[in-house]
A and B are shown apart, each in its own frame.
Chain A
Amino acid sequence: MKIAISATGDNWQDFTDTRFGRAKGFFIIDTDTAETSYIDNASNLEAAHGAGTSTSQALISKGVEIVITETVGPKAGEVLKSGGVKVFEGAGKVTLKEAYENYKKGLLKEQEL
């Protein structure tokens, strides 16, 4: 399963990005292989409109099933929901490692989409 965290960098020690649609990038953890990767989100960050929905689409097409972030807006939420993606909110501004640990410990709440 692939988990995406809105991120400001591509390393476990980098910080989360508190924005979703206009996040700098996404740190992807593949829990099956334990591999990590990074998606640059610059093209959506730069979008005049519809940043949240196009970011959601990009994550769905990468096969992401879980998103960890601060919060997602109503339209992005609709897209993620239709793609079967679950959102865990309230990640705050912490390192990616901490955000992932907090998620695993069940400290982040699932956002109702």
Chain B
Amino acid sequence: MKEIVIMSGKGGTGKTTITAAIGALAKEKAVVADCDVDAANLHLLFSPKNTEAHEFVSGKTAVINYDKCTDCGVCRQKCRFDAIDFINGKYVIDEVACEGCSVCHYLCPEKAIDMRDNTAGKWFISDSRFGSRFVHAKLGIGQENSGKLVGKVKAVAKEIAEKEKIPFIIVDGPPGIGCPVISAFSGATHILIVTEASESGFHDLKRLVELVEYFKVTASCIINKCDLNNEASGRIEKFCNNHNINVINKIKYQKVFYETLQQGKTLVESDDNNIKEKIEEIWNYLKNME
């Protein structure tokens, strides 16, 4: 079983659009996992059916038990996140500011503060309209993606792939290089980087490549919108060559990207044979990779 994780470093490079198109070609040969849960939108193109929903519990929030609280104020003094207000003669937890560190819970002399599990969002197992199994998640407002959620979505995808003997896992990875990205690297057999020909695209690509080298995973790269800045595109290509990263495709900036999105379709469902061929080349490369 191969686990291909698609990453971009920078947001907005076309990573999800390309992931969706690859997923549409892979059909029942892949379990597709959407780990970009801050901006989960693969489901818009995959029209999931037969969805099975689960709650995602992550982190904790302090809750004051007013039967025990003696208004001593220790919690407010010790909270370094200023998450405890004093309103109308009583101490009140600001749930948005509370980081769930538990210091108030430990230090309250009356043991009046409990830590409650947060329901941070939901995760789902579905069937996509392309015949692939699809694992995705949705975070609540103000909740952030975490390595824990990425780990969960990937673990479920892996379980399905093992049980149903599906040869590929295609993961839409989170942007950046932080905790969720580290979690997405874990267990990956190949990283496909989708970057764009811009200064920020190149800058974030370099940070991502540092991680690729740290984890010693093989990687390949697609330069999207390569004609936005031909000079930057050239530099990206050279950089990739110097770091043993195969630039497997360069894609010009083109209307078909947003036209298909507006219609709720993937790139391979457009009438544009040129882009279809490019996506097929990419999928063939990934499919036949050692």
Chain A residues in the interface with B (C-beta under 8 A): 18-22, 45-52, 70-71, 73-74
Contacts and interface: CB of A to CB of B under 8 A. Distances in A.
Interface residues of B, number: 17
B215 A71 contact: yes
Contact of A48 (B148, B182, B187, B211): B148
Contact of A47 (B148, B182, B214, B216): B148
Interface in B177-220: 179, 182-183, 185-187, 211, 214-216
22 contacts: A19-B151, A19-B186, A19-B187, A20-B186, A21-B147, A22-B147, A22-B183, A22-B186, A47-B148, A48-B59, A48-B120, A48-B146, A48-B148, A49-B148, A51-B183, A70-B186, A70-B187, A71-B215, A71-B216, A73-B182, A73-B185, A74-B214
Interface centre among B151, B186, B211, B215, by most chain A C-beta atoms within 10 angstroms, is B186
B179 A49 contact: yes
B58 interface: yes
A19 B186 CA distance: 6
A49 B187 contact: no
Interface in B71-113: none
Nearest to B60: A48
A73 B185 CA distance: 9
Nearest to A77: B214
Interface of B: 58-59, 120, 146-148, 151, 179, 182-183, 185-187, 211, 214-216
A41 B179 CA distance: 18
Closest 6 CB pairs of A and B: A48-B146, A48-B59, A48-B58, A73-B182, A22-B151, A49-B179
Contacts of B216: 71
A45 B151 CA distance: 9
B148 to A, nearest CB: 5
B182 A52 contact: yes
B102 to A, nearest CB: 12
A22 B148 contact: yes
A50 B182 CA distance: 11
Contacts of A21: 147
A48 B214 CA distance: 23
Contacts of B186: 18-20, 22, 70-71
Nearest to A111: B216
Nearest to B185: A73
Given A48-B146, A73-B215, 20 more contacts: A18-B187, A19-B151, A19-B187, A22-B147, A45-B148, A46-B58, A48-B147, A49-B179, A51-B147, A51-B148, A51-B183, A70-B186, A70-B187, A71-B186, A71-B215, A71-B216, A73-B185, A73-B214, A74-B211, A74-B214
Nearest to A52: B182
Contacts of A74: 182, 211, 214
Contacts of B151: 19, 22, 45
B54 to A, nearest CB: 15
